[in-house]
Structure 1
Amino acid sequence: MIYQQGKVSVDQHFARFGSKSYAIDKINSVDVRIDKKNSNVWMLFAICALMALTIGFKSIGGWAVILVFSVIAFLTYRNQPAPVYHLMLATSSGEIQATSAGDRDAIADLRNAIESAMTQKV
């Protein structure tokens, strides 16, 4: 066994993802794609804060507006969803999304295991 994590395993002959199995010798290439659900809403609030700052609010109320926009921009930026990593297998039948995870290192380890199995001589 080259790799084992939950319902995913890789050996010299097969890559198994739950109930699906793919023969290692039928896999042409392995790719990792990143699905970033990136929200740029925080930029809108940051721009509003900068615009308010450049307009030159002199009163305490003006600074409060700048502070509110800045805090909202920071919180929106900080609460962006984490990216999801998809492991794609290319076979003669086409490209298949084998598995997905939010952990980049886990997907990289799985990719390395499949590539290692692909290069081993049987």
Structure 2
Amino acid sequence: MTSGPEWTIAQIADEFGVTHRTIRHYEDLGLVSPERRGTQRIFHRRDRTRLKLILRGKRLGFPLEEIRTIVDLFDAPRGRRAQLEYVLDQIDARRTDLEQRLKDVQDAIAELGDFERSCRADLDRLAPPRP
């Protein structure tokens, strides 16, 4: 049994704005491991920290397996340093991917603009609109 603050699944879900099902899914994947008291899940500081890291990783678009590696490194002997070095590498890769996606979207918007102008010009060259 761990001493310190404790949270129920409802409290954790409310705090992080996720469903109980989401938290149970992360538990099934071994990403969090709350204490069990009968059928009740009791979350401790470690679980709360891991859930915070999981949700941050999801917001940033990391796949769950990368998130698992990151949160598992948190518990590794080198701990925080190894985690931060790994995360920095992942951030670089994610940033590169997002920058490419942004460029692709900007190019697509520009192409749509060109196509729209072409279509409007073709329409203007056709017979005048009816009254």
TMscore range, shorter length: under 0.3
TM-score, normalised to structure 2, is 0.26
- Relative to its length, the structure with more helix (as a share) is 2
Q: Greater relative contact order: 1 or 2 (C-alpha under 8 angstroms, separation 6 or more)? A: 1
Higher strand proportion: 1
> TM-score, length-normalised on structure 1?
0.27
